[in-house]
Homo-oligomer: A and B are copies of this chain.
Amino acid sequence: MTERPLVVHPDRLFPAEPSTRAVARELYQSVADLPIISPHSHVPPEWIAEDIPFTDPTALLLTPDHYLLRLLHASGHDLSVFGRGRGPLSEAESRAAFRVFCENYHVYRGTPMRYWFEAQLADIFGVDVRPSAATADAIYDRIQAWIDSPASRPRALMESFDISVLATTDAPLDDLRHHQALLDEGYARRVVPTFRPDRFLEPGLPEWNDLVDQLGELSGCDVDTYAGYTAAMENRRAYFKERGAVSTDHSHIDLGTIVLSPAEAEKLYADARDDKLSPEECAVLRRAMVTEQARMACDDGLTMTLHPAVFRNHHAQTHERFGADVGADIPISVEATRALQPMLSAYGTHPNFKVVLFTMDETTFSRELAPLAGFYPSVYLGVPWWFLDSPDAIRRFRKSTEAAGFTRSSGFIDDTRAFCSIPARHDMSRRLDAAHLAELVVEHRLEVDEAADTLHALVAENPRTVFNLT
């Protein structure tokens, strides 16, 4: 195989029709260099706090990235090759893993992973040949050299990527020492925690009672009652907010909400603590607890983000061998209109409440989410998430949420643990929104000054508004 050049074209993702492309290019240029606001990611905070250097190309790019791993798995490769379910790879193993990836590079054709990866290769690592068996070693060496430079440490990248806000995702019992350290030192860029209490809201989990005990201990609240559990939650939310948190994140199997009377809630909670709930009752209590988080949000102003409806760890054997987050999670359909009605009827017009609805079920965009966001001042459309974060899906999102306009969407969310892909992900979003707006302009549905103003808002204002990043 001859070496093919790696080409990252300045007009990528813009529509081919020349007049549309010209408008898209102009719009994109006006926002291309704006700082990155990332209000939801999975970057470990210690990377920034301790400025931990990366080690090798496989550990940097492959091991943590379940997007890339899953297609390698589908192509017949064992996940252990790429460092999952085992200790660190040796240099030879890392190089071999990277070679497998390069040999399989064709499986990513047409995928967003290809787009993000190529942008990193060209724009960050300075690679100019296409990955293949023939080029694997040279690319590996090139990336290793990049890693070994001081300019490639996380804090340097925060500067060169121009990330002005980076939100991590953190457990309620976390002491947030890294966020505190960054606050203490007066770190110029904003690295904020996100309160993610999923397991504490699932009385059906075997570990739930133990988690609640720990919550009580840490918060100093008596968690024998639902009122005490609630106080403990409020205590931890306050702890997070004091350390910079702007949002809480919630991922459950459905979007169900319910308002219980205090007596009903106390009864269910007491039975849950006694392990006496049926699965149906566990779901009711979970929905009440989610709704209660919305009530708390009205008080403390933390934006609530909902990421529902994933069948986690679909393949039992993979879960046993490799644990979670290896690419074996599969979406299911979701319902929003009925499920959220109790919560929105209670808190949907509260001036302090903001909730962002994410989905992997595209059918909800036009049918439920845009209609909800177009009525409730508290509801915002989350941009396409996981499995829908591809160019065509993002284009469909904008075309399916016309009824709500542009002011009701959240701005881009990268939701990634692949640090070096953050600029590429935000760049893709800016290009695609530019392309969408350009089409509205050339079809005479919007004037170009309005399109430019809208694109700027999507990149710079909407995320600040939705996440109270004042």
Contacts and interface: CB of A to CB of B under 8 A. Distances in A.
Given A15-B443, A73-B375, A367-B333, A392 B400 contact: yes
A315 B375 contact: yes
B75 A110 contact: no
A317 interface: yes
A294 interface: no
Given A7-B444, A109-B405, A317 B345 contact: yes
A373 interface: yes
Contacts of A330: 337, 368, 371-372, 375
Interface string A19-39: 110000000000000000000
Contacts of A341: 311, 314
- As for how many copies of this chain the complex holds, the number is 3
A189 interface: no
Contacts of A449: 4
B16 A19 contact: yes
A332 B332 contact: no
A435 B328 CA distance: 32
A337 B314 CA distance: 8
A242 interface: no
17 contacts: A7-B447, A8-B444, A12-B445, A16-B442, A70-B375, A71-B408, A106-B407, A106-B453, A110-B402, A110-B405, A111-B403, A314-B345, A314-B372, A317-B345, A360-B366, A362-B366, A366-B393
B333 A402 contact: no
Interface string A353-368: 0000000111100111
Given A74-B379, A314-B341, 11 more contacts: A13-B443, A16-B443, A75-B377, A106-B407, A111-B403, A115-B445, A314-B375, A315-B345, A315-B375, A318-B349, A393-B399
Given A315-B345, A440-B110, A362 B367 contact: yes
B377 A76 contact: yes
A187 interface: no
A406 interface: yes
Interface stretch (A195-203, A215-223, A298-306, A383-391): A383-391
Contact of A444 (B9, B332, B442): B9
Nearest to A441: B16
A229 interface: no
Contact of A376 (B74, B361, B405, B454): B74
Contacts of A344: 314-315
A151 interface: no
Contact of A402 (B348, B391, B454): B391
A11 B19 CA distance: 14
A348 B9 contact: no
Size category of the binding interface on chain A = 35 or more
A370 interface: yes
A450 interface: yes
A392 B387 contact: no
A365 to B, nearest CB: 9
Contact of A14 (B332, B338, B370, B443): B443
Interface in A397-427: 398-400, 402-408
Interface of A: 4, 7-9, 11-17, 19-20, 70-71, 73-76, 106-112, 114-115, 130, 311, 314-318, 327-328, 330-333, 335, 337-338, 341, 344-345, 348-349, 351, 360-363, 366-368, 370-377, 379, 387-388, 390-393, 396, 398-400, 402-408, 439-440, 442-447, 449-450, 453-454
A326 to B, nearest CB: 9
Contacts of A349: 315, 317-318
A465 to B, nearest CB: 11
Interface centre among A11, A73, A407, A408 (most CB of B within 10 A): A407
Contact of A109 (B8, B367, B454): B454
Given A332-B337, A366-B388, A392-B399, A444 B315 contact: no
Nearest to A408: B74
Contact of A335 (B9, B15, B333): B333
